[in-house]
Structure 1
């Protein structure tokens, strides 16, 4: 972990602009101070803390992960993230990369002793220790950035190795459930994708349960276990995140955004928006736009 932190620190100190630093194979995040909560849609990924600490909230589940630990997200779901331990002398350093579920499936199928699965889907988000062989893989990923010509050959090999260690580790069963075709988790994930594509519409729980090949009560329970949200909470957060994006990035007014994402009542929209983001739509959009402008100005000044 010390070597990984040193490699990330050296990389960020050579880069223009501000975090996050996006590369062809991974993202590097550096925070010199704790930051306010950030709402987002998390996709299948691994976020490794080499230094400092973060927490992430998925529904009513709050996970803290610090140096030597990683957050593993196996299902697309709304979340809130925050850096909680950072300073200019000891910045929070995070390495993040997407998880290719097809690669995980391929590695799992080649194991002599695949992880044991139960009939219930596991949790789609968890924290795991990231030391030993996994830390070595992460360090090699960062070092690949110095030899971009080697990335096409070596990156897939390192990713397969990471998948191997995840599948043979303490959360191997949870990882396997998320990738194996026709597993309970995969069927629920299919319903998640259906809801994701139709979040503006009125979607009945029976329709989603049919996609997952489950009874409505079993589907509701397994959806909550996988995403830490009920289907209604999941849909509501998607709607509000999209409304915020429309207002901040496209200048759409509150009423238009409300109807665009599927709400019928502007007053209900405003109440639920304020409950999620901590301020009514207009005030939140204004402060978000000011923060973005300040960050852009700071990035330009540092180039």
Structure 2
């Protein structure tokens, strides 16, 4: 009896060691995959704040929470199982599907550029306030943010999956666990940062009301600087759509613009690759926008 109990305890200890090793493998692989996807994560963080701009302070965090839930749904419920199935049955289909998503990002980015360049009828403050406060506007902004997030999330998950498949020993369960961990950690990181950014003006206002002079000065600086920061993030977010979308398409065709100049690694290689991919993204997006507007005009006629 004692020997049987000892054997059972040995088995339990062995299982515990295997489980601990598996958890370590998942954590290590997830960390490596997350670092590879860091560029797209930064783009995602830059893109999202523009969807919350203009709302009243009491609606900002609830909207971010809704977008975050939509992002997690995208990653866990849709992208994760589809990515695993495609990688097992149709690995060749992953790149074309990502390129279609990249084309959508180019389209959205080019439309935003067009809105800035083309004159349009100015709305009165009352009209703008009524639109921002409407439930329909909020729904449209959340849907638009979740839709854009879907493409960026697919790119993040594809990078993570590719990194996991490069491991010496892998299985579909390890891949699923790594992708799930990457999805949760990146979603928390991105939308935690976004929430902090959009509430910085409220934090600054609270600091400006404190008695400490240095705290007051810092608070006033945050309040004054937030409009400029949001404008900057809006520009960066639009640029991110174009360079990520263009990069997905350019790389999908096996092209690496930085290598044309003999650059393979480093910050300069990234800048050249992102810049030329952004130009390609803007050109592709402009073509899609033109076709879309012509088709809409034809249907209306």
User: TM bucket by the smaller chain?
Assistant: under 0.3
In terms of fraction of residues, the more strand-rich structure is 1
TM value normalised by structure 1 = 0.23
Q: Which has the larger share of helix?
A: 2
TM-score normalised over the length of structure 2: 0.23
Larger Rg: 1 or 2?
2
Bigger relative contact order (CA 8 A; separation at least 6): 2
